[in-house]
Structure 1
Amino acid sequence: MTEDTSAHSGERAFIGVAEQTAAVRTGRTSAVELTEQTLTRIERWQPRLNAFTQVLTDRALAQARALDDRQARGEELGPLHGVPIAVKDEVDVEGVPTTFGGAGNTVPATADGEMVRRLRAAGAIIVGKTTLPEFGTWPFTESAAHGYTRNPWDTTRTTGGSSGGSAAAVATGIVAAATGGDGGGSIRIPAAYCGLFGLKPQRGRVSTAPHRDLWRALGTLGVLTRTVADSALLYEVISGSTATDRWQALETGFAVTEPTGPLRIAVSLRCAVPGVRPDPECVAAVRAMAEALAELGHHVEDFEPSYPDVTSAFLPQFLGGIREETDQVDRPDLLERRTRTIAAIARVVAPEPVLRWAERRGEQVAATINTVFDRYDFVLTPTLPHLPGPVGRLDNLGVVRAMRRSIPMTSYTALWNVTGNPAAAIPAGWSPTGLPLSVQLIGRPNDELGILRVATQLEQARPWADRWPDFS
């Protein structure tokens, strides 16, 4: 698809999270009007994108009316007042089933997950739940229960995954932000394929309650947005832990300002997975963003860290995490065959002692790889080695072939789930065929703020948020 110069012209005041809440607060629109506009966009584009598993029309409008009433009474308003947001269908929303992207769970959640609770408390309106591959297993958003989710820039192509429905919804402006989860790249991969900013936060930054963790030590929850500032605003709202959470990050702030002084940035093209080579367009994107960073005054140089093999740390936690999630559903007979196979394998090869060993191995990997931050402040890499391929990437594939197809997709991202470091997909222009390009910026532990600051500089130097998929 090509750049759109007209289809969104009547909606440009409502593109970003900050702009939307400002419009509601100042009376240029109301929470109800903004929610109705969002629901109309869902109805218009859902048949083309397949981004939602559930649309919560009546609930969203009721919440919007309550927020408008609150504003009319002069009560204190939250930082996300009146903003419609979509939630990836792996996080509980009270009163609706958490499908995990499949058909095996039909029981409505009895309460909001902690992240959703914080969003609502800040004034966000939950308009629907977004697609993912069953249990987020694959980096392609397609499932037997919900079909293919399509890339807004070219609807014959994949959004990546697993937060593909969230990415498609934000990329088209259906919503200004949506939640995601990242256990091996599942925020960064669809953000990259859909032209969005997607930060995987530090492990423990965002609560996974009512669950103790997400895929053991691998997974984190977060958001996808068009702009860096909107992500910073949302992370300010959703960050924090509860007594339920196994992981708790050191406290940090999200007030994005200019970085102080020149930073040391390593540029690494080498993939952590042997045999995976990045496409020329992906390499060119990294080189262009490295040049932009140098022009901004940072010290940028090529440096290839020694990447340890993370298979023994990643694979057991991946298998064990899926097994733990499949154990929660009420209709295991409705799970996809691949999912049932993975759960069965996990029960044999990933018992609790193996999972604990894999977590310790992850700590060893982190200690090794984080030595790069003794020399550099950040590492810049491709987010993905390839441009998005056609939909149907999982058609007729068993577990082994599906894993082989998936490994290149996570070859730059999964390492940082093992170590827990914050890492972000940053838009880096478009390919000659009009598909989004992306780079990944990785920071030392607990330095989400540093990533946001550098990403803000890049956004100002190489803007991306004013270009949209063509839905005219």
Structure 2
Amino acid sequence: MPEPSFSSLVEQARRVADGETTSRALVDHALARIAALDVELNAFAHVRDQAREEAEALDAELAAGRPRGALHGVPVAIKEENDVAGLVTGFGGRGNSTPASADGEVVRRLRAAGAVVVGTTRMPEFGIWPFTESDAHGITRNPWDLSRSPAGSSGGTGAAVAAGIVAMGIGGDGGGSIRLPASWCGVFGLKPQRGRVSSAPARDLWRALGTRGPLTRTVADSALVYDVISGAADADRYRAAPLPESLLAASAREPGRLRVLLSLANPMRDAEPDADTAAAVRATGELLASLGHEVTEADPRYPDLRIAFQVQLGGGVRDEAAAVEHRDRLEPRTRTVLRIARALAPLGGWAERSSARAGDEFLARVFGAYDVLLMPTTPTAAQPAGRLLAASGLEAAELARPVASFTSIWNVFGNPAASVPAGFDAAGLPLAVQLVGPADSEPLLVSLSAQLEAARPWADRRPALAAD
């Protein structure tokens, strides 16, 4: 199998199914990549040597004519906020010490489809920060430039996928934590509709804000994973309406002529995009126009959701911190967030209700006139690593706020949004744009992202660190 490091998830699954390679060969390769690269990247929290035995069992099942599903035999990584049986669900810190007794729902569905979990990936404690750094586990680094951050909170997953260790890793997005690492690591990341993917065994992920989902190098790979993991479980607080088609099918069709609103305005009234990012957004607008779409540049009137987002974020962190085994082990920065969250707790109901009202009005107004919003994912390319660990809680908040200022509003509203690679800056760091759609518009965003991918391919570029 040529270049297994950078083959797609779809290709790996096909090659296993056709007998061109084996699950054991793919898993061996992924584990070897971890051993070779993770000393510098620090992308993995746990590595599962038993993945080899699981791969051999899957190869035997396939030989006996019992394929499990669409991901049979492929190695994947899981962000460590998800339960993986036998591993401690660390949430980026030292607060837990007892291994999970069972897989979380997303992991269960991946395994049911035949995926092999090779390990869990790093995150900042409770996913609070858009930098993957923690007092407990140090700094996770960006494979495009080891002096830079892969963003967060799914930074370990983003680094692992960008470095060609796995073709897919699961992340989570409560304020941009799938899209931010996708942007800084040069991969694709779609935040789905609220309720599209189960949070079980938890009732929700950061209350109304969070969702789980994949980071991948190709659009079709993310589409395939969503086809496998979508759907609510009994425990879930939120449930999205069923989609009319599979997302893998959507990735293979043309999106049709769309009305695209291009905007560089910051929804959270924060940092303007730098020159490289603004140029990437406008270049993407020009590309979309050349593909037949109607592109209009204007700035929508965003409601002010800064307080509502902070209240909901604090409530989500407070819930997760209350459930850990050793609260005395929490980081000082986390303790600062919890003190603020306790003070804001009485506003929790107001934050969710007012956000829902604002979202209904805003989404109806914007997506009544346009099909898609094109905007930055992050205001800059990857920023230097290591600044978070030198910061107090309040200093960390100041560093974090602008990074997620283009993404967090869509967590408050709950509608889908995708980070799509959009070239590189002069220093060789990835750039990205964000595509935002109305409620339940994942098929539209997947189809349009795939059209951009075909017109402006990105998966052929690889970090020098990760070259075979």
Instruction: Give the shorter-chain TM-score range.
Output: over 0.9
8 Å CA contact retained: 1:63, 1:125: yes
**In structure 2, do the counterparts of structure 1 residues 111 and 173 end up closer, same or farther at CA, with 3 Å as the change threshold?**
same
1:432-472, CA deviations, whole angstroms, 9 ceiling, x for partnerless residues? 11000000000000000100000010000000011110124
**2:283 equivalent among 283, 288, 293:** 288
1:351-430 alignment runs, 5 A limit: 351=346, 354-370=347-363, 371-430=365-424
Alignment size in residue pairs: 461
> Offset at 1:10?
4.7
Whether 2:6 is the aligned partner of 1:27: answer: no
8 Å CA contact retained: 2:5, 2:165: no
8 Å CA contact retained: 1:13, 1:19: no
| Counterpart position of 1:198 | 189
CA distance, structure 1, for counterparts of residue 359 and residue 5 of structure 2: 43
**1:111 equivalent among 94, 102, 106:** 102
1:349 aligned partner, one-letter code: L
| Counterpart position of 2:327 | 332
8 Å CA contact retained: 2:44, 2:156: yes
CA distance, structure 1, for counterparts of residue 2 and residue 229 of structure 2: 30
1:17-416 alignment runs, 5 A limit: 17-58=9-50, 60-252=51-243, 253=245, 254=247, 255-256=249-250, 257-259=252-254, 261-351=256-346, 354-370=347-363, 371-416=365-410
> Offset at 1:13?
7.9
8 Å CA contact retained: 1:259, 1:450: no
> Offset at 1:346?
1.9
> Offset at 1:396?
2.6
> Offset at 1:397?
1.5
1:70-96, CA deviations, whole angstroms, 9 ceiling, x for partnerless residues? 011111331001110000000000111
8 Å CA contact retained: 2:170, 2:212: yes
1:46-102, CA deviations, whole angstroms, 9 ceiling, x for partnerless residues? 0010000100112x1121111011011111331001110000000000111100010
CA distance, structure 1, for counterparts of residue 18 and residue 308 of structure 2: 51
SS in 2 for 1:269: coil
> Offset at 1:349?
2.2
> Offset at 1:12?
4.5
CA distance, structure 2, for counterparts of residue 180 and residue 443 of structure 1: 20
2:336 aligned partner, one-letter code: T
SS in 1 for 2:231: coil
> Offset at 1:399?
1.6
CA distance, structure 2, for counterparts of residue 187 and residue 14 of structure 1: 20
CA distance, structure 2, for counterparts of residue 400 and residue 41 of structure 1: 37
8 Å CA contact retained: 1:312, 1:361: no
Range with greater deviation from structure 2 (69-78 or 451-460)? 69-78
- Percent identity between the two aligned chains: 52
TM, length-normalised to structure 1: 0.96
8 Å CA contact retained: 1:213, 1:219: yes
1:434-445 alignment runs, 5 A limit: 434-445=428-439
8 Å CA contact retained: 2:88, 2:99: yes
SS in 2 for 1:445: coil
1:61 aligned partner, one-letter code: R
SS in 2 for 1:158: coil
8 Å CA contact retained: 2:268, 2:306: no
> Offset at 1:195?
0.3
Range with greater deviation from structure 2 (25-34 or 244-253)? 25-34
1:342 aligned partner, one-letter code: V
8 Å CA contact retained: 1:14, 1:20: no
1:112-137, CA deviations, whole angstroms, 9 ceiling, x for partnerless residues? 00000000000000000000000000
CA distance, structure 2, for counterparts of residue 219 and residue 330 of structure 1: 22
**In structure 2, do the counterparts of structure 1 residues 152 and 184 end up closer, same or farther at CA, with 3 Å as the change threshold?**
same
> Offset at 1:14?
5.9
2:191 aligned partner, one-letter code: K
8 Å CA contact retained: 1:93, 1:116: yes
Range with greater deviation from structure 2 (72-81 or 284-293)? 72-81
1:459 aligned partner, one-letter code: E
- Superposition CA RMSD, Å: 1.3
1:201 aligned partner, one-letter code: P
2:289 aligned partner, one-letter code: A
2:304 aligned partner, one-letter code: D
| Counterpart position of 2:461 | 467
| Counterpart position of 1:5 | none
**In structure 2, do the counterparts of structure 1 residues 68 and 418 end up closer, same or farther at CA, with 3 Å as the change threshold?**
same
CA distance, structure 2, for counterparts of residue 342 and residue 205 of structure 1: 28
1:259-279, CA deviations, whole angstroms, 9 ceiling, x for partnerless residues? 453110000001113241110
> Offset at 1:305?
0.5
| Counterpart position of 1:4 | none
CA distance, structure 2, for counterparts of residue 348 and residue 285 of structure 1: 40
Segments of 5+ residues of structure 1 without an aligned counterpart are 1-8
1:313-349, CA deviations, whole angstroms, 9 ceiling, x for partnerless residues? 2111101110110111111111101112222332232
CA distance, structure 2, for counterparts of residue 94 and residue 142 of structure 1: 25
